[in-house]
Amino acid sequence: MTRLEYIASELIARKQKITCAESCTGGLLAAELTSIAGSSAFFERAYITYSNQAKEQLVNVNSDTLRHYGAVSEEVVREMALGALIAAKSDYALSISGIAGPDGGTADKPVGTVWFGFATKQRIWAKQYHFKGDRKMVREQAVQYALAILEHYLKTTK
């Protein structure tokens, strides 16, 4: 059973739904989650929040948070995940914000820096990872990493 098949079967068995708020992946996570038949049983919607304005309007990220920490930060992905969870009325929410490249990196946040948020109704987690490769590779790896976060959570909670 693939990671995605496991996630789908587990969410369906639990009668739970996942949503996502994506920035640098631009909808690739939602596309992956909905790539299998029957995904409407566990996936209802996603938010593509590529711009800061979209983050504020769609998933209620605070403009002060964006100004102070930047879009690629722990604080922003936490707010993205919580905002998506609330807006979609889902059981879980994944968020992704990063620098896929080839431009946009800095010394503090080089190309390949991606922050992930994961929210449940009880808690919010955030994790940073640095991926190698070109833009396409960074985005694809980010999607797989987000799915791994969800898979791990589902395997360790009942």
**CATH number of 30's domain:** 3.90.950.20
CA triple 93-96-98, angle to 5 deg: 170
User: pTM score > 0.95 for this model?
Assistant: yes
Task: State how far the alpha carbon of 41 is from the alpha carbons of 13, 69, 101, in Å.
Answer: 10, 36, 34
* Tokens found for residue 30: 């939602």
Domain extent at residue 42: 1-154
Q: Looking at the DSSP assignment, which residues form a beta bridge with residue 149?
A: none
Where residue 38 falls (left for φ over 0; alpha for ψ -120 to 50; beta otherwise) is left
Handedness of CA 37, 95, 93, 50 (dihedral sign): negative
Hey, which bits of the chain come out as E strands? Answer: 18-22, 43-48, 92-98, 113-120, 124-130
Number of domains in the chain: 1
Question: pLDDT (tens digit, 9 = 90+) per residue, 45-95?
Answer: 999 999 999 999 999 999 999 999 999 999 999 999 999 999 999 999 999
**Biggest CA-to-CA distance, the chain:** 45
Using an 8 Å Cβ cutoff, are 138 and 112 in contact?
Answer: yes
Predicted local confidence at residue 158, as pLDDT: 78
Question: pLDDT (tens digit, 9 = 90+) per residue, 84-131?
Answer: 999 999 999 999 999 999 999 999 999 999 999 999 999 999 999 999
Question: For the chain, first and last CA: distance in Å?
Answer: 19
